[in-house]
Amino acid sequence: MISMKILGISGSPRKGQNCEKMIEKVLEIAECRGFETDNIYLSSSKIAPCTACGACREKDCCVIEDDMGKVYEKMKEADGIIVAAPVYMGNYPAQLKALFDRSVLLRRKNFALKNKVGAALSVGGSRNGGQEKTIQSIHDWMHIHGMVIVGDDAHFGGIAWNPVEEDTVGMQTVRDTAAKLCDVLEIIKKK
């Protein structure tokens, strides 16, 4: 039996808050369905912004020394990647942007994320606080890498508002997105 892994990325700089809670729920669902799981929490990671130095065009690594080396390995090992982001001024925060920009190394190295299944979650201060725009921006990053993108079977992905543990409707979209990610990976596994 082929084992598959889902990586959950919390793009929030806030430890133990909404994005980490959503990722924990997704990974719990994935584990119950037999998937291996792993996570990256930007709240406990040090990832500097890309400087566009161009070194990754020639090297198999980034010359910036921080936690991104571990992120590259986890992303390459995963079959599915789900990203959760809070809304900061209408989009995801700078910490997640740094990770996305630095992932260009994986694109330059034979599209290492191509055909991995991706999904997105977002949380805002209100029901319509910019979550769809944030999810669209995460999807844009996934498209640039050639990933296969899934939603929650009704819309774009998991859309919640703060605090997520009190948002039953939003958390249902998070669970539905996790289920869709698992469903698609299981379909791929059977082929």
Residue 140 CB-density burial (10 A; 0-12 exposed, 13-18 middle, 19+ buried)? exposed
- This prediction's pTM: 0.96
Q: For 3-19, how does the pLDDT look when each residue is reduced to its tens digit (9 = 90+)?
A: 899 999 999 999 999 99
Distance CA 183, CA 70 (A): 27
Q: For 37-93, how does the pLDDT look when each residue is reduced to its tens digit (9 = 90+)?
A: 999 999 999 999 999 999 998 888 899 999 999 999 999 999 999 999 999 999 999
pLDDT of residue 59: 84
Pick the CATH number of 5-190 from 3.40.50.970, 3.40.50.360, 3.40.640.10, 3.40.50.720: 3.40.50.360
